[in-house]
Structure 1
């Protein structure tokens, strides 16, 4: 999966363990949920960590919802759920794999 390189301008907060924002393990780095999107440290600045394209998570029988046991991450106009090291977003009767 490819992420776009979109720098978050004027980001003065330094994310890290205990900073108060939800940590999302994302492969070789950690994203931080902040103001409805995810931030990733990159080369001395913070990027908006967003997937490009549409990747459906196949064979996903679990229905995510409040209290389902997976961490909810507000993300723009919807809620993603952290599941098995990535985010799931409900979309058109299936879950997208972020």
Structure 2
């Protein structure tokens, strides 16, 4: 496709004010529908805390997205397209197989 970006293109990281490379972690969480906004805020707070302390970046460099997925759609929307083909590369595998 003309003009499309090659996924293998290496992008230069943004420089922080001190001239060092700035890490920009983005975490995408998919949850079964039904969690409260309070639970999502607490999950986000804990994810940001874990990312900043583990990766060593500033809190303002982290972004978190949460997507609610109805359980009736979990298999088709999450497990089959994202989990199943990536099982060997997952750092944390689910304790369940393909939902039936």
**TM-score, length basis structure 2:** 0.26
User: Larger strand proportion, structure 1 or 2?
Assistant: 1
**TM-score, length basis structure 1:** 0.26
* Larger of the two Rg values belongs to structure: 2
User: Larger helix proportion, structure 1 or 2?
Assistant: 2
